Structure 1
Amino acid sequence: MTAYYIEVLDSLKLVDIYVECARSASKSGSSDIQLVGTTELRISSGSVISLPVTVSPRAAARSSFEDSDSGPDANSWIRIRVPIALDCMKARLEQASQLITSIEKPITASAIQGLSDIACQSCSSSLLANTTGAADRDTLRIRDLPSAFWSELVDCWVCHPEKDTVNVNADLLHAFEPKVAVTTDSTQDSTRKPEPSTETKLSVDMWVGDTYVLATEDLFKDLPKTPVHMDTKVLSIVVYVAYANMNTYSVASLIGRFYSSYTELCCDSCSNVVGEVGRMGSREMAKLCLSRVQFVLPSPSRSAISVSLSQAVSREILSHVGAHAVYRFVIEGRKACQPVALINIVGWNAEIRARAMSSTQPDNLPDISGRYIKILFTQKDSSTFDTQASQWLDDNATELISLLDADADSLLRILAENAQLLPPPLRGMANMTRSFLRM
């Protein structure tokens, strides 16, 4: 199958097209590869694909180049740059969301309100506790977690607990909770713990974030739990680096925020990890990975809403880009507590269509089409990775994203596979690898 890569460059009002062809065809100026009308591209004698936008074919510019690193038998690439039709460009500017603040989350609280079940994305088995009846599921109180934009406002305007003038962290949110009502009645037993006031009762059952869902632990109390012990040597280094960058903390309070172990939450049917459980303030909470669960809507549709790992990570990245103007990210494994990839954002909302080269991917791999984040990345096997990772972590303009170790490995695999969809000369830039993630 013929490989191709098509990207809509709205800022340049162009469509950039690359099509793989035999080296002899590129030298002879073969007419097999050409635009057909204003909406189609012929990539071989019997294959025509639709373009993402309407173009002006008369103004198209055509060129060719060879991949010098792949040997004399390698194929060449035809490049066609063609302007977007004026009417189509106007419509795209009116309809397409160019601002990060206008890009919707893959899953919101309103989309799953009234859900009938939460299931494992791998085997579709129910994850909710048996005691959670149908009536209880219909009345679950679901809200969206405050976004990174809200966190930015909190950092600027709210008096922080523990003299934290840098960040408000999830494990410190309990400091903002209403205090337990204390009775002054002398007839009450002074040794008995006071009952919580109505203000302290949890008014929400689930909070939906960008990469995870927070929920009351009782909803998933029947699921198996597995203790996981982290590398204490690595953890001590992480604490030291954090202390160096957040010197407003006392050493004791800082170390108390890092734990040497955590508890994974697993699917009872397939044993896949779906999240973790732990204490947040005075509450036992479950933290479910969005890319590992699905939300089943009630009858008659019984449809399931889920997101891929790529979509979840992309949304987390876009939140930080929009709120903090941060474009560099360190991806780490949850258990290993070590960086596995460095990601630099170079663009978002890019409309891309592509098919892999048959020599690098199986023939049954589907074509890709959609909107993506464009990135540069470096992974662990790079010779300069450790040095570069240390430099990035020391920089306040870098965000850290922690994933399950298996998800971190899967993310690297996705980035590597997507990089293969690019024409060979375009795969590298600034000693990093170019790739993209689905939004």
Structure 2
Amino acid sequence: MAVVAAETRVFLEVRRRLQSALLILGEPDEGGMHLDVSITPTSLLMRTPDGCTEIRLPAGVRLVPSSCAGLQYIRGDGLHLRLRAQAESSPKLISVFNQSLQAQECCTFYCQSCGEVVIKDRKLLRVLPLPSENWNALVEEWCCHPDPFANKPLHPRENDCFLGDSFFLVNLRSDVEQEPKANTKVICKRCKVMLGETVSSETTKFYMTEVTIQPSEGSFPNIPRSQFVQSVVAQCLVELSSARSTFRFTIQGQDGKVYILLWILNSDSLVIEPLRSSDCSNKFPLLEDFSEAGSSSAWNAIKVLYQPCIKSKNQELASSWEGDISVHPLTLPSATCLELLLILSRNNVSLPVSLRQMNSFQVAFLKI
């Protein structure tokens, strides 16, 4: 096959469950040159008069060249084609905090934004999941006598850590400087980012997107903020959709204001970034922030539909979702909600034009 291009923008998504792949070779902005594309089970090879670029697929992923179908050219977008793909099943997700939180370990809590130590050398004897936020209401339905847990909220002891949907609770000692009363924000001393809030005089809630936890003998992992937020939110969404069979979420601030309506389309996508060198600028714009020159990357990702709810947008739809029991709220600091909306918007405009919208929703990938 052949197409005219000055600079080819490549998009490749592999669906693990469907064993299929979508390849889009973007339309050039201007000018043109001859481009030949060859597909092998383990790579894509693009040749131009100036040279060639090879995109090698990651281990465990193979294309079936003879299955090429649905070939079409979409003006303003590029050449689309679909193929069968042989891909290993999605790796089992490990809870975002179980990766680093292990009972009996001595841990240090860091501000994810700047690396400031928040809690140092805290030994955790118990790391336990919290029940859903409606557990008290369920107990009332189950019990034929007065609720034995009424007015008895679950609070961690000194060496406990309780995991919620998007937060975790720890017993507050003298590690965190804050006013000794409930419902006050916990602020990083160095960068002034909101890390969480106090629940009681002894219990502090930290948001998963704001704090990194590492074994005390380790060091602070310097992960780009955007990458960290995407990964944490994506894992939270996948875990919640699996546990509660829900795929629609409202992303709301700690003040209860809804910022984003989000709908999971699928969680089995593998997006592959091509090999890059100084002689070739072909790349996946979707992943350009996280790749290094001369390397190739494959990212597990979830594909989502979203609607922003800032500046009075989509208020009627947001009210409808809030009143729907099948929609689950996910609470984050308000500033992080805006960060997430910016990430979604940036990833949306990086997609080929034909993939950016579905019905009235915008489409984006969140990398796990």
Note whether the superposition's TM-score is higher than 0.5: yes
- The residue aligned with 2:152 is 174
Work out the CA distance in 2 between the residues paired with 1:318 and 1:362.
20
1:213 to 2:168 alignment: yes
Deviation at 1:289, TM superposition (A): 1.5
Q: Tell me the amino acid that sits aligned with residue 126 of structure 1.
A: V
User: For the structure 1 residues 393 and 364, does the alpha-carbon distance in structure 2 shift closer, same or farther, using more than 3 Å as the test?
Assistant: closer
User: For the structure 1 residues 381 and 175, does the alpha-carbon distance in structure 2 shift closer, same or farther, using more than 3 Å as the test?
Assistant: closer
Asked if the contact 2:35–2:47 (Cα under 8 Å) also holds between the matched residues in 1, the reply is no
Q: Tell me the amino acid that sits aligned with residue 217 of structure 1.
A: L
Deviation at 1:320, TM superposition (A): 2.9
Work out the CA distance in 2 between the residues paired with 1:382 and 1:161.
47
User: For the structure 1 residues 117 and 358, does the alpha-carbon distance in structure 2 shift closer, same or farther, using more than 3 Å as the test?
Assistant: same
| Residue correspondence of structure 1 range 262-301 to structure 2 within 5 A | 262-279=183-200, 284-299=202-217, 301=218
1:14 to 2:5 alignment: no
- The residue aligned with 1:108 is 98
Work out the CA distance in 2 between the residues paired with 1:217 and 1:118.
13
Gaps of 5+ in 1: 69-75, 178-200, 228-260
User: For the structure 1 residues 219 and 424, does the alpha-carbon distance in structure 2 shift closer, same or farther, using more than 3 Å as the test?
Assistant: farther
1:365 to 2:289 alignment: yes
1:390 is paired with a residue whose SS is helix
Work out the CA distance in 2 between the residues paired with 1:108 and 1:390.
34
Q: Tell me the amino acid that sits aligned with residue 36 of structure 2.
A: D
- The residue aligned with 2:326 is 397
Work out the CA distance in 1 between the residues paired with 2:229 and 2:259.
16
Work out the CA distance in 2 between the residues paired with 1:33 and 1:25.
19
Work out the CA distance in 2 between the residues paired with 1:276 and 1:286.
6
Work out the CA distance in 2 between the residues paired with 1:79 and 1:422.
13
Work out the CA distance in 1 between the residues paired with 2:331 and 2:344.
17
TM-score w.r.t. length of structure 2: 0.77
1:145 to 2:129 alignment: yes
Deviation at 1:415, TM superposition (A): 0.9
Deviation per residue, 1:75-110 (Å, 9 max, x gap): x412232222xxx45xx25xx35xxxx532122176
2:269 is paired with a residue whose SS is strand
Question: Which of 41, 60, 63 does residue 44 from structure 2 map onto?
Answer: 41
Work out the CA distance in 1 between the residues paired with 2:263 and 2:172.
36
Deviation at 1:207, TM superposition (A): 2.1
Q: Which structure is higher in helix share?
A: 1
Q: Tell me the amino acid that sits aligned with residue 115 of structure 1.
A: C
Asked if the contact 1:354–1:421 (Cα under 8 Å) also holds between the matched residues in 2, the reply is no
Question: Which of 69, 83, 101 does residue 61 from structure 1 map onto?
Answer: 69
Q: Tell me the amino acid that sits aligned with residue 263 of structure 1.
A: T
- The residue aligned with 2:355 is 426
- The residue aligned with 1:188 is none
1:271 is paired with a residue whose SS is coil
Deviation at 1:205, TM superposition (A): 2.6
Work out the CA distance in 2 between the residues paired with 1:10 and 1:304.
30
2:189 is paired with a residue whose SS is coil
- CA-based RMSD of the aligned residues comes to 4.0
User: For the structure 1 residues 210 and 3, does the alpha-carbon distance in structure 2 shift closer, same or farther, using more than 3 Å as the test?
Assistant: farther
Question: Which of 330, 339, 342 does residue 258 from structure 2 map onto?
Answer: 339
* Bigger Rg, which one: 1
Q: Which structure is higher in strand share?
A: 2
Deviation per residue, 1:294-346 (Å, 9 max, x gap): 223243x54649782222222332233223322211112223x3211111121
User: For the structure 1 residues 111 and 302, does the alpha-carbon distance in structure 2 shift closer, same or farther, using more than 3 Å as the test?
Assistant: same
Work out the CA distance in 1 between the residues paired with 2:284 and 2:62.
31
User: For the structure 1 residues 385 and 77, does the alpha-carbon distance in structure 2 shift closer, same or farther, using more than 3 Å as the test?
Assistant: same
Work out the CA distance in 1 between the residues paired with 2:244 and 2:288.
41
1:118 to 2:95 alignment: no
Deviation at 1:353, TM superposition (A): 2.5
User: For the structure 1 residues 265 and 339, does the alpha-carbon distance in structure 2 shift closer, same or farther, using more than 3 Å as the test?
Assistant: same
TM-score w.r.t. length of structure 1: 0.66
> Paired residues, what number?
342
- The residue aligned with 1:184 is none
Asked if the contact 1:120–1:267 (Cα under 8 Å) also holds between the matched residues in 2, the reply is yes
1:77 to 2:78 alignment: yes
2:95 is paired with a residue whose SS is coil
Work out the CA distance in 2 between the residues paired with 1:421 and 1:369.
16
Q: Tell me the amino acid that sits aligned with residue 159 of structure 1.
A: C
Asked if the contact 1:346–1:374 (Cα under 8 Å) also holds between the matched residues in 2, the reply is yes
Deviation at 1:409, TM superposition (A): 0.1
- The residue aligned with 1:309 is 229
Asked if the contact 1:379–1:412 (Cα under 8 Å) also holds between the matched residues in 2, the reply is yes
2:235 is paired with a residue whose SS is helix
User: For the structure 1 residues 161 and 371, does the alpha-carbon distance in structure 2 shift closer, same or farther, using more than 3 Å as the test?
Assistant: farther
Work out the CA distance in 1 between the residues paired with 2:251 and 2:133.
21
